[in-house]
């Protein structure tokens, strides 16, 4: 479909159409061009219009541009655009609801308060009438997911019930119920719920069947997961589904099923039953995947046949021709030699042959790989042993003998023991020194010598008393015993008061 860029309305509609088809880069370019045309139109109609009024008028286009940036993974730029539109306070409540909902999908549970505030704005009264059915379902689903992440069980059940009533044909309520049961640690009930819904809605329960297959794989039920995936008719011959089934069959070792699956998928796409303009691209990618698988599995004849089909689409592709030469070299060397003459000459320059041999498109034999691995491990082990031997080689230190060392005298064998543990050690005897002074009960005193009054000479009554006799009398210098000294009473501190 050709895009028309005469007016900003046509340019905006073309951008929305390209975004729906998945061409986000071209849609972004057209939206920016539509905003330029819109700005020129607004300034031509009203030259006094301010920049804030112009941005508020172009709110729809800016939100759409933010949505396309979000789909491309440019979340920072998208978040800035959403916030600027909300700050401009647009008069359209639907625009505010869509921007708020998309802000929640970007932030998720990083800012709980902000997400709760935006969800409240997206689900305000009077907004639902201005939103489409798809937009209402998306906003309700995001609200349920937010409540589920916050573990608000009762509110989450209420929101799921309202979503189920408003959209009875949708499989989103079933998925939310299963997630809620899984959160409440009831995986068995969640598994049975998904099984019942998938059995009752085989044509529309694609997401439920994928969730069921994921649970089966997490529980190790590979065969049941294969049955569940093969039952999804809308995705049966999609490239992603074929790759998944091939890996699961290879895990089980069922190569016959892999060949049958690849053959049926190629026949389906070659017959033109796949709808859409990208069916040719899908067939080319499928043929390339089949050729790579058969080369790795050791089926060169089937790989050569597949590569011949792929070469019909683009005969100038060198990689396809190189793989074809490789496939023929394993069973028809003459054909490989003939095709190798078509390959372009290599450019002169330095090339790393080992790097070329390790390319994914040039698989080597198992014996060669194991021999190289053994050689690498042997070389690494030899290097490690040599380094260890170098570490063990230490210089021998010279023996330093003590001074006055005599070689004829045998050293004492007990020289490493403490002195008190040696056999020739003699314990010292403690001798009693003099009279035992200071022994006895507390306060006892021994009267002897100059302090014994019976040994003192009697003074002459006719001589006057001397100072020495008066002061040296033991009665005058006697002090009371320690037990007689009154003890000072200690006052107890009163608790709870300062």
Q: Kindly report the number of other CB atoms within 10 A of residue 215's CB atom.
A: 19
Helix axes 93-107, 75-87, angle to 10 degrees: 150
Q: Would the CA dihedral through 277, 282, 284, 287 be positive or negative?
A: negative
Nearest alpha carbon to residue 205 among 164, 233, 177, 176? 233
pTM: predicted TM-score of the whole model, two decimal places: 0.59
Question: 50: exposed, middle or buried (C-beta count within 10 Å: 0-12, 13-18, 19+)?
Answer: exposed
pLDDT tens track, the chain, 498 positions: 445 567 888 888 988 988 888 889 999 999 999 888 888 888 888 888 888 888 888 889 999 999 999 999 999 999 999 999 988 888 888 888 999 999 999 987 788 888 888 888 888 888 888 888 888 899 999 999 999 988 888 999 999 999 989 888 888 999 999 999 988 888 889 989 998 998 888 778 899 999 999 989 988 899 999 999 998 888 888 889 999 999 999 999 898 999 999 988 888 888 876 665 567 788 889 889 999 999 888 888 998 999 888 888 888 888 888 888 888 888 888 888 888 888 887 665 666 767 767 665 555 556 656 666 666 666 776 777 777 666 666 666 777 877 887 888 888 888 888 988 888 887 776 666 555 555 556 665 555 555 555 555 555 555 555 444 444 444 444 444 444 445 555 555 555 544
Measure the CA–CA gap between 456 and 450, rounded to whole angstroms: 7
Measure the CA–CA gap between 204 and 248, rounded to whole angstroms: 24
Q: DSSP characters for 79-139? A: HHHHHHHHHT--S-HHHHHHHHHHHHHHHTTSSHHHHHHHHHHHT-TTTGGGS-HHHHHHH
In the block, tokens 């491309």 appear at: 72
Alpha-carbon distance values, 70 to 13, 21, 74, 90, 111 (Å): 19, 16, 5, 21, 18
- Residue 403 three-state SS: coil
Tokens of 239: 């490239």
Helix axes 93-107, 112-122, angle to 10 degrees: 150
Measure the CA–CA gap between 205 and 208, rounded to whole angstroms: 5
Can you list the positions of beta strands (E) in 422-467? Answer: none
């Amino acid at each position: 479909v050709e895009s028309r860029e005469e007016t900003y309305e046509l340019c905006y509609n073309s951008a929305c159409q390209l975004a729906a088809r998945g061409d986000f880069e071209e849609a972004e370019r057209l939206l920016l061009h539509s905003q330029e045309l819109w700005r020129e139109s607004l300034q031509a109609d009203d030259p006094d219009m301010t920049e804030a009024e112009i941005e508020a008028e172009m709110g729809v286009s800016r939100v759409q541009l933010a949505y396309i940036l979000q789909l491309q993974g440019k979340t920072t730029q998208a978040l800035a655009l959403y916030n600027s539109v909300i700050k401009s306070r647009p008069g359209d409540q639907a625009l505010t609801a869509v921007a708020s909902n998309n802000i929640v999908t970007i932030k998720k549970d990083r800012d709980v308060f902000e997400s709760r505030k935006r969800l409240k704005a997206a689900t305000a009264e009077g907004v639902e009438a201005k939103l489409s059915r798809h937009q209402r379902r998306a906003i309700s689903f995001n609200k349920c997911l937010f409540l589920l992440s916050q573990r608000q069980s009762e509110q989450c059940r209420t929101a799921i019930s309202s979503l189920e009533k408003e959209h009875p044909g949708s499989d989103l309520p079933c998925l939310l119920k299963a997630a809620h049961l899984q959160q409440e640690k009831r995986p068995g009930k969640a598994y049975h719920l998904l099984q019942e819904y998938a059995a009752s809605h085989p044509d529309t329960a694609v997401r439920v069947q994928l969730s069921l297959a994921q649970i089966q794989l997490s529980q190790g039920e590979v065969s049941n997961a294969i049955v569940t995936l093969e039952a999804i008719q809308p995705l049966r011959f999609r490239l992603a589904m074929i790759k998944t089934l091939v890996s699961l069959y290879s895990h089980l070792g069922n190569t016959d099923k892999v060949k049958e699956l690849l053959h049926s998928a190629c026949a389906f796409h070659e017959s033109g039953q796949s709808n859409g303009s990208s069916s040719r691209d899908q067939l080319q990618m499928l043929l390339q995947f089949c050729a790579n698988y058969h080369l790795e599995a050791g089926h060169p004849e089937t790989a050569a046949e597949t590569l011949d089909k792929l070469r019909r689409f683009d005969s100038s592709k060198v990689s396809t021709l190189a793989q074809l030469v490789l496939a023929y070299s394993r069973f028809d060397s003459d054909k490989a030699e003939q095709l190798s003459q078509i390959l372009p000459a290599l450019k002169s320059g330095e090339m790393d042959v080992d790097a070329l041999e390790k390319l994914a498109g040039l698989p080597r034999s198992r014996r060669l790989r194991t021999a190289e691995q053994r050689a690498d491990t042997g070389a690494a082990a030899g290097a490690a042993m040599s380094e260890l031997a170098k570490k063990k080689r230490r210089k021998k230190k010279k023996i330093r003998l003590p001074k006055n060392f005599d070689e004829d005298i045998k050293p004492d064998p007990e020289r490493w023991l403490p002195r008190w543990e040696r056999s020739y050690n003699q314990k010292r005897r403690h001798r009693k020194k003099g009279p035992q002074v200071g022994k006895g009960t507390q306060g006892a005193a021994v009267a002897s010598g100059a302090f014994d009054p019976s040994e003192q000479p009697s003074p002459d009554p006719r001589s006057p008393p001397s100072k020495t006799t008066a002061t040296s009398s033991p009665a005058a210098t006697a002090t009371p015993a320690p037990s007689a000294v009154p003890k000072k009473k200690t006052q107890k501190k009163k608790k709870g008061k300062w």
